[in-house]
């Protein structure tokens, strides 16, 4: 449907005169008449009654009016969604069901008037490139991949360290443990079919496996979390890692167990990454909200790869 024609229709209703609507739209009365006629032809109904008193909407015109206004509002939001300086704050998270989405919900509760667009990009290279190019405003990632640095003009700060749990079925050797040490996982198989080579999370878990002697098994197609939980529930040897705050629901019969890892506690380090020259007014509020809630990383009792510390940008 022609946005200009619909906007003209609404202008005539509000002005009650074709000539006054033309003045409001800075066009000729003939242009207004042609636009309204085209819209009436498209809809197959008459929208106005024109007489000496002006232009009054017909019954069909009255019925169409609220929808026309909603249509124009939606069109305006669609345009604003891609206009820098006007669009919603666009933030990338690895998955909408993960704890990072919860961080954004907390920000939105604290700033309910801030519009958010949440997107999901697959890997850190794509996400950082999108931040650099301005197609997204920020991303949550583990900073940074081994041997890599952030591009010039890109900044990062830690905002959330999430402890890992071992997830097992009731027949697993650790099923009844209240907590275990990562060293106890030596020789055990951790099934994580979502660990794709080249991703920051695969690099993280590869280094964790090397540090504590377990095996990360990424064999098999990734059908999502539910099939993974089904398999783990019925296995005596398979476990998987989940983050402490990842929300999960499973059938009662699965009797799955979440077992904290301690001495040390492996934490997955999430950093917020943004472009320093980004002018979006809500970005500073997001950064302040996240960093003010971050307690800081303790010096002892945790494990994380050395390369996940915030990297310095490339020198000029």
Q: How far does the chain reach from its first CA to its final CA, in angstroms?
A: 50
Q: Which pLDDT does position 113 carry in this prediction? A: 87
From residue 69, alpha-carbon distances to 8, 21, 33, 64, 65 in Å are 11, 16, 19, 9, 6
Q: Which pLDDT does position 245 carry in this prediction? A: 80
Compute the distance between CA of residue 122 and CA of residue 8 in angstroms, rounded to an integer.
Answer: 43
Most confident stretch, 18-22, 39-43, 54-58, 248-252: 39-43
Asked whether 261 and 166 are in contact (CB, 8 A), the reply is yes
Q: Which pLDDT does position 311 carry in this prediction? A: 45
Residue 295 has pLDDT above 90, yes or no: no
Residue 12 has pLDDT above 70, yes or no: yes
Q: What is the pLDDT of residues 137-177, one digit of tens each?
A: 999 988 655 556 788 899 998 898 999 999 999 999 999 99
What angle, rounded to 10 degrees, do the helices at 59-80 and 3-15 form? 130
Q: Which pLDDT does position 24 carry in this prediction? A: 86
CATH 1.10.10.10 is held by the domain 3-80: yes
How many other C-beta atoms lie within 10 A of the C-beta of residue 311?
A: 16
Residue 96: CA count within 13 A, CB half-sphere: 4
CATH 3.20.20.80 is held by the domain 89-160+268-308: no
Mean pLDDT, rounded, of the chain: 87
Q: How confident is the model at residue 249 (pLDDT cuts 50, 70, 90)?
A: confident
What angle, rounded to 10 degrees, do the helices at 29-43 and 3-15 form? 110
Instruction: Kindly report the backbone phi and psi dihedral angles of residue 21, in degrees, each rounded to the nearest multiple of 5, phi listed first.
Output: -65, -40
Q: How confident is the model at residue 316 (pLDDT cuts 50, 70, 90)?
A: very low
Name the one residue in this structure whose structure tokens are 């690099």: 203
Asked whether 205 and 298 are in contact (CB, 8 A), the reply is no
Q: Which pLDDT does position 312 carry in this prediction? A: 46
Q: How confident is the model at residue 187 (pLDDT cuts 50, 70, 90)?
A: very high
Identify the CATH number of the domain defined by range 163-266.
Answer: 3.40.190.10
Compute the distance between CA of residue 117 and CA of residue 304 in angstroms, rounded to an integer.
Answer: 30
CA 84, 87, 93, 94 torsion-angle sign: negative
Q: Could you state, in order of their start, the residue ranges of all structural domains in the chain?
A: 3-80, 89-160+268-308, 163-266
CA 259, 260, 265, 267 torsion-angle sign: positive
Q: Which pLDDT does position 147 carry in this prediction? A: 54
Over residues 56-84, the mean pLDDT reads 85
Q: Which pLDDT does position 144 carry in this prediction? A: 58
Q: Which residues touch 180 (CB under 8 Å, ≥6 apart)?
A: 166, 174, 259, 260, 261, 262
Instruction: Kindly report the backbone phi and psi dihedral angles of residue 14, in degrees, each rounded to the nearest multiple of 5, phi listed first.
Output: -75, -35
Q: What is the pLDDT of residues 202-230, one digit of tens each?
A: 889 999 999 999 999 988 777 878 888 89
Does this chain's domain 3-80 share its CATH topology with 89-160+268-308? no
Asked whether 32 and 22 are in contact (CB, 8 A), the reply is yes
| Cis peptide bond upstream of 307, omega within 30 | no
């Amino acid at each position: 449907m022609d946005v200009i024609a619909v906007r003209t229709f609404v202008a005539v209703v509000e002005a009650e005169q074709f000539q006054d609507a033309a003045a409001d739209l800075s066009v000729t009365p003939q242009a207004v008449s042609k636009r309204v006629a085209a819209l009436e032809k498209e809809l197959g109904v008459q929208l106005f009654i024109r007489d000496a008193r002006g232009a009054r909407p017909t019954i069909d015109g009255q019925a169409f009016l609220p929808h026309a206004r909603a249509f124009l509002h939606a069109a305006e939001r669609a345009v604003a969604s891609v206009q820098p300086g006007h669009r919603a704050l666009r933030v990338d998270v690895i998955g909408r069901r993960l704890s990072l989405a919860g961080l954004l919900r907390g920000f939105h509760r604290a700033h309910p008037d801030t519009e958010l667009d949440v997107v999901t990009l697959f890997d850190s290279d794509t996400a950082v490139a999108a931040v650099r190019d301005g197609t997204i405003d920020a991303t949550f990632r583990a900073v940074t991949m081994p041997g890599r640095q952030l591009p010039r003009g890109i900044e990062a700060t830690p905002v959330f360290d999430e402890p890992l749990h071992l997830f097992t079925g009731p027949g697993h050797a650790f099923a009844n443990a209240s907590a275990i040490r990562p060293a106890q996982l030596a020789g055990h198989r951790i099934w994580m079919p979502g660990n794709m080579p080249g991703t920051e999370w695969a690099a993280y878990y590869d280094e964790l496996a090397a540090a504590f002697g377990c095996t990360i098994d990424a064999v098999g197609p990734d059908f999502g979390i539910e099939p993974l939980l089904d398999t783990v529930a019925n296995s005596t040897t398979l476990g998987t890692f989940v983050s402490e705050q990842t929300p999960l629901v499973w059938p009662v019969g699965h009797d799955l167990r979440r077992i904290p890892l301690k001495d040390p506690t492996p934490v997955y380090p999430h950093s917020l990454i943004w472009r320093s020259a980004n002018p979006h007014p809500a970005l500073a509020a997001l950064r302040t909200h996240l960093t003010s809630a971050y307690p800081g990383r303790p010096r002892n009792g945790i494990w994380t790869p050395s390369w996940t510390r915030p990297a310095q940008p490339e020198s000029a």
